[in-house]
């Protein structure tokens, strides 16, 4: 009797290129699910459902921003316990009804429910594709892997936001723009169920040679404590992620309304809504790999300050060309931060609890959607739209200062460097 040996597990981009490329494509579909809302839904709130108070109009982002962080957290712990692939498939099942609910919603409550489901979909699927790519490539190219992952996701956000703006200008706010989401959800579920392979074996392989902050499994509570406030680099990343998505919540929910108040056309709003994630997505192809060469800390701190400057300039500008340039600057600052934060989490966390740490970080990061939407909506209703933008810009700048003061450089940890004592 001949006994077949188990296939050899190898870390790295090249030996895992087929699966890595598939996961890049899947994450592009995940991003497209958000992109279907970026241009259309804030305008639909006012023009389709008659919501005049900005706080009320942004409740769909609040629902998303409260649900997705919980799903991120669960995705990490469930992926460490049961494997990555089942979590990915379940995430797509939650995404299937979302575009249909947006098409048929007879009241704003249906839209809020759709965004609860979208939050679960995004938390489970995006978190899992992040973890699977980290598993496959190993420590040497982690920044590049995160750059490719986030570039695919936010590139799709940009393309879909642009496309839905032109579709809405031609055919109206519903149903045609959301037909893209129907296609994304069906294709994402099919690819994930039929072609994506489990990566837990890669985690076990890397764990045998890892020299990180803690060896062996930690409880969920211990991982939460370390990632939230106990470990300097992990906690610095968590607060920066929250501030980053706080300003993304503003860009998603308030900026289309801000541009519409300045008489920008639907197609023009789609262009402006698309520039920001387009530069964000494409820029990560550069910044993710750059963080593997020059380190993580100063890319993160500098990126937060660039975002703050872009928002401040946007608040005082009054022309389409200036807004386009500032949207591009905002995207560039976000590109400096987004893949680098994930890479830094991967640097510090031990493979045995890395997915859980990513889940806790993404819990805090994506809670920024809800905080940003609520804060921006309340300030805009009480004061003005520019005041809301300035408030978020100030918080973003302070976050960059926190990173500069508190965080240590994490790159090189896989080579055996020990972190500072927390």
Mean pLDDT (whole number) for 139-147 = 77
CA gap 258, 365 in Å, rounded = 24
Number of structural domains (the chain) is 1
pLDDT class of 359 with cuts at 50, 70, 90: confident
108 lies in a domain? yes
Mean pLDDT (whole number) for 182-201 = 93
Contact 93, 189 (CB under 8 A): yes
Q: What is the mean pLDDT of the chain?
A: 88
Residue 414 pLDDT: 43
Provide the strand spans (E) within 197-258: none
322 lies in a domain? yes
Which residue do the tokens 């957290």 mark? 73
5 lies in a domain? no
For residue 107, give its domain range: 17-197+218-415
pLDDT in tens, 374-394: 898 899 999 999 999 999 999
Residue 5 pLDDT: 43
Q: What is the CATH number of the domain that holds 26?
A: 1.20.1250.20
202 lies in a domain? no
3 lies in a domain? no
Mean pLDDT (whole number) for 397-404 = 97
420 lies in a domain? no
pLDDT in tens, 21-51: 999 999 999 999 999 998 889 889 888 888 8
Pick from 30, 26, 39: which is nearest to 176 by CA?
39
CA gap 282, 23 in Å, rounded = 17
198: left (phi over 0), alpha (psi -120 to 50) or beta: beta
203 lies in a domain? no
Cα 154 to Cα 32, 87, 205, distances in angstroms = 8, 21, 30
pLDDT above 50: residue 111: yes
Mean pLDDT (whole number) for 305-326 = 96
303 lies in a domain? yes
Residue 6 pLDDT: 46
């Amino acid at each position: 009797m001949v006994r077949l040996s188990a296939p050899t597990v190898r870390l790295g981009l090249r030996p895992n290129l087929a699966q890595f490329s598939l996961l890049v494509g899947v994450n592009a579909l995940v991003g497209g699910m958000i992109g279907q809302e970026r241009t259309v839904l804030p305008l639909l709130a006012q023009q389709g459902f008659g919501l005049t108070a900005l706080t009320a109009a942004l409740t769909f982002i609040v629902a998303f921003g409260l649900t997705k962080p919980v799903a991120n957290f669960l995705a990490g712990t469930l992926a460490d316990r049961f494997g990555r692939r089942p979590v990915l498939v379940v995430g797509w099942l939650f995404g299937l009804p979302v575009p249909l609910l947006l098409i048929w919603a007879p009241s704003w409550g249906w839209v809020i429910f759709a965004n609860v489901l979208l939050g679960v979909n995004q938390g489970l699927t995006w978190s899992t594709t992040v973890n699977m790519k980290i598993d496959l490539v190993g420590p040497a190219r982690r920044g590049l892997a995160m750059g490719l992952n986030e570039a695919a996701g936010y590139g799709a956000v940009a393309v879909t936001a642009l496309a839905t703006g032109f579709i809405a200008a031609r055919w109206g706010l519903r149903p045609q723009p959301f037909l893209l989401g129907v296609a994304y959800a069906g294709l994402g579920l099919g690819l994930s169920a039929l072609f994506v392979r489990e990566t837990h074996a890669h985690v076990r392989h890397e764990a045998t040679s890892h020299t990180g902050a803690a060896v062996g499994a930690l409880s969920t509570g211990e991982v939460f404590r370390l990632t939230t406030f106990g470990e300097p680099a992990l906690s610095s990343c968590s607060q920066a992620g929250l501030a980053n998505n706080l300003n993304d919540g503003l860009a998603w929910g308030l900026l289309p309304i801000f541009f519409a108040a300045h008489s920008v056309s639907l197609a023009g709003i789609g262009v402006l809504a698309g520039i920001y994630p387009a530069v964000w997505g494409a820029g990560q192809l550069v910044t993710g790999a750059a963080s593997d060469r020059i380190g993580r800390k100063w890319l993160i701190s500098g990126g937060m300050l660039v975002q703050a400057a872009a928002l401040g300039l946007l608040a005082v500008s009054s022309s389409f060309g200036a807004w386009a340039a500032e949207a591009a600057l905002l995207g560039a600052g976000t590109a400096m931060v987004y893949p680098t934060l994930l890479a830094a989490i991967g640097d510090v966390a031990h493979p045995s609890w890395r997915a859980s740490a990513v889940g806790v970080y993404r819990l805090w990061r994506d809670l920024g959607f809800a905080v940003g939407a609520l804060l921006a909506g309340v300030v805009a209703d009480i004061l003005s739209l520019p005041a809301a933008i300035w408030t978020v810009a100030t918080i973003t700048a302070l976050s960059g200062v926190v990173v500069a003061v508190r965080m240590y450089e994490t790159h090189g940890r896989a080579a055996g460097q020990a972190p500072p004592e927390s």
